[in-house]
Structure 1
Amino acid sequence: MKYGIIGAGAMGYRYGILLQENAGVQVDFIETWKPNIEKVREQGGVYVSRDHENKHLVPINIFYPEEYKGHPDVWIIFKKQMQLKEEMKRDSEAGIFHDDQYVFSAMNGMGHFEVIEKYFDKDKIVCGTAMIATVLNGPGDVDFMGPVNSEVMHLAPYNNKKPDETVKALFDDLKAAKLGPVVSNNWVNMCMTKVVFNAVVNTLCTMFEVQMGQFIQYPKAPEMARQLFNESFDACERAGIYMDETRDEQVQSVIDTCHTLKYHYPSMYQDFSKGRDTEVDYINGYIAKLGREHDYICRTHEFVVNQVHLVEQMRQFK
């Protein structure tokens, strides 16, 4: 199949380049950040490293939405939650979406599928999560973190039906790309499993400006994780959401992932460190909102949301 990547950022590059190189499929990148597009065109592609080594240039096709005339079978969307509504509106007005196209997204947080649903048929939306660490060093320069074949991701149809032939073909291409896909049978449970993980690692590492390996060295880190997980699970269970991992498994996942990616700064920290707004409202904030909607107050999550926004605001005084 042919793919179009909306958002040539860290994860967009990783999915598109691995599909292009390992699965041998055609990939086009749609981008709206001018410095990124112009740098890629100037240097003839994107520079790719893995764990800061073997930096090399990979030629890619990159377009502004308004100049794109292609017709992918599947769109893959990786934008920041705060940017998605504007991105989808611009892409739609550019006329790049078509009724026969499918769309897949494994963005962080929750709320994006409700936006995507305004532009695509529910039966053609595929939800995803990705336990894949990637860093965008700058325009046209990306670093894949973790060893080759360490990628793990999940996907599930938005309609919670069995995968149709296109979804199966998408799975096969993701597998050939060595992105480690696993099919889940309930997209909400699947996505919330990742959201509550990010609500620990992304947020706490950002608050204290530490790498994942540095965070897990603190003896009480698993206890901090469990406190946040307990609130997340309590809120989700009241909402009828039952995640793919148990509370104990989630705590162990934090421990294992932080040791594996010990030198990695999560994506929320990458945004914060570059002066951008974070996605905390779509992660911890989403969990807190879900809790209040079901008569449960996630006090710790609400506290850390305010803490992250506080440190964002305090940057003006530095």
Structure 2
Amino acid sequence: MKVTVLGAGAMGLRYGVLLQAAGNQVEFVDTWQPNVEAMRQQGGVYVSRDHQNRHLVPVKVCYPEDYHGNPDLWVVFTKQMQLADFLKRTAHAFNDQQYVLTCMNGMGHVEKLLQYFKPDKLLAGTALVATVLNGPGDVDFIGQRGAGTMNLANYTETPDAMTHQVVAELEKCQFHPNLTTNFKGTLLAKVVFNSVVNTLCTLFEITMGEFADYAGADELSKQLINEAYDVCERDGVTMLNTRAEELASVNYVSQVANPLHYPSMYQDMSHDRPTEVDYINGYLVRLGQKYHYQAKTHAFLTHLVHLAEHTRQTAATQPAATDASVKATA
């Protein structure tokens, strides 16, 4: 299968490298210049697993304007706020015979992808797979091979032969794909998961395991999960998991699968990049408002993340205080 990965960040590289290792023809398209140039100069991407066995994997990478291939499948892993620009810059290479798969965090990407791809060729889902981009051209797969899981569904909720072929290739990569016929419920399962773990770990700068070690973690998780499910049920969504199963998923991933992992939102915050909180907790708030339901806890957390972003940005633009100025204000 010919595969082109749009967005050579942590997750894009993980999916692309493993699909390439499984025998597929894979190319990468990215817009971050330091990343593209590093991989070109190195002749590929450096790959580690749990900070060990760092080695160079040869890959092909280019900017959107320079890409003229015709893949069977696009794999899309960008940040929500970057997707529209990525798609616009790569649109010359899209056609109505191509399929697209995405497991991006948050909500908002499906509508953008449908502007370029036919509904029956759109596959979307969620990935409980921990990966870190150490820097340009350097990625770290967190967890043992096969530790992650993923769910996916067709937008039309009618799997075809190509869908099953994609699932088979993902199985070769040991992503353990679970094909469902519940499109929106599949996507929202990860939104709810991220609205708990990503947001709280980011605000307190802790790993998922450190969050799980807190005696009140279950109560925090339940409050956010219950509020999110109240919203989704008002929207008529049949959730992939029960509330209890969603809590169990949060606990398993945090305690067993990836206890040492800092979620992607934390990685963005720590590098002073905008977070996707508006597409996760903020999405649940807006969806609730549509049905006159106030998701107050999610609204509060959304504001807290933006406050943290604002505080970091303000600190970065202010000169460091001198010893004299500190003493003068003491």
Amino acid at match of 2:146: N
Q: Deviations over 1:232-262 (max 9, x none)?
A: 0111111101211111111121111111211
Count of matched residue pairs: 314
Candidates 147, 155, 158, aligned match of 1:158? 155
Whether 1:271 and 2:268 are equivalent positions in the alignment is yes
Residues 133-282 of structure 1: matches in 2 within 5 Å? 133-161=130-158, 163-260=159-256, 261-282=258-279
Aligned equivalents of 1:253, 1:166: Cα separation in 2: 29
Q: How far 1:73 moved relative to its partner?
A: 0.2
Whether 1:287 and 2:270 are equivalent positions in the alignment is no
Whether 1:20 and 2:20 are equivalent positions in the alignment is yes
SS in 2 for 1:312: helix
Aligned equivalents of 2:40, 2:175: Cα separation in 1: 26
Q: Which residue of 2 aligns with 1:46?
A: 45
When the two chains are superposed, the root-mean-square deviation of aligned CA atoms in Å is: 0.8
Q: How far 1:317 moved relative to its partner?
A: 3.5
What percentage of aligned pairs have identical amino acids? 52
Q: How far 1:110 moved relative to its partner?
A: 0.6
Aligned equivalents of 1:63, 1:317: Cα separation in 2: 35
8 Å CA contact 2:182–2:240 kept in 1: the answer is no
Q: How far 1:168 moved relative to its partner?
A: 1.1
SS in 1 for 2:93: coil
Q: How far 1:39 moved relative to its partner?
A: 0.3
Q: Which residue of 2 aligns with 1:88?
A: 87
Candidates 305, 310, 313, aligned match of 1:313? 310
Runs of 4+ with deviation above 2 angstroms: none
Q: How far 1:297 moved relative to its partner?
A: 0.6
Amino acid at match of 1:291: G
8 Å CA contact 2:67–2:90 kept in 1: the answer is no
Aligned equivalents of 1:176, 1:132: Cα separation in 2: 15
Gaps (5+ residues) in structure 1? none
Aligned equivalents of 1:244, 1:266: Cα separation in 2: 22
Amino acid at match of 1:294: Y
* TM-score, length basis structure 1: 0.97
Whether 1:299 and 2:303 are equivalent positions in the alignment is no
SS in 2 for 1:70: coil
Q: How far 1:56 moved relative to its partner?
A: 0.6
Gaps (5+ residues) in structure 2? 316-330
Q: Deviations over 1:135-167 (max 9, x none)?
A: 000000000011111121111001112x11111
The structure with more radius of gyration? 2
SS in 1 for 2:61: strand
Q: Which residue of 2 aligns with 1:3?
A: 3
Aligned equivalents of 2:39, 2:262: Cα separation in 1: 25
Aligned equivalents of 1:159, 1:257: Cα separation in 2: 29
Amino acid at match of 1:222: D
SS in 2 for 1:167: helix
Q: Which residue of 2 aligns with 1:63?
A: 62
Candidates 117, 122, 125, aligned match of 2:122? 125
8 Å CA contact 2:64–2:86 kept in 1: the answer is no
Aligned equivalents of 2:136, 2:195: Cα separation in 1: 28
Amino acid at match of 1:100: Q
8 Å CA contact 2:206–2:262 kept in 1: the answer is yes
Q: How far 1:316 moved relative to its partner?
A: 2.9
Aligned equivalents of 2:313, 2:88: Cα separation in 1: 31
Amino acid at match of 2:89: R
Q: How far 1:70 moved relative to its partner?
A: 1.3
Q: How far 1:69 moved relative to its partner?
A: 2.1
Aligned equivalents of 1:81, 1:66: Cα separation in 2: 20
Aligned equivalents of 1:200, 1:60: Cα separation in 2: 35
Amino acid at match of 1:259: Q
Q: Which residue of 2 aligns with 1:103?
A: 100
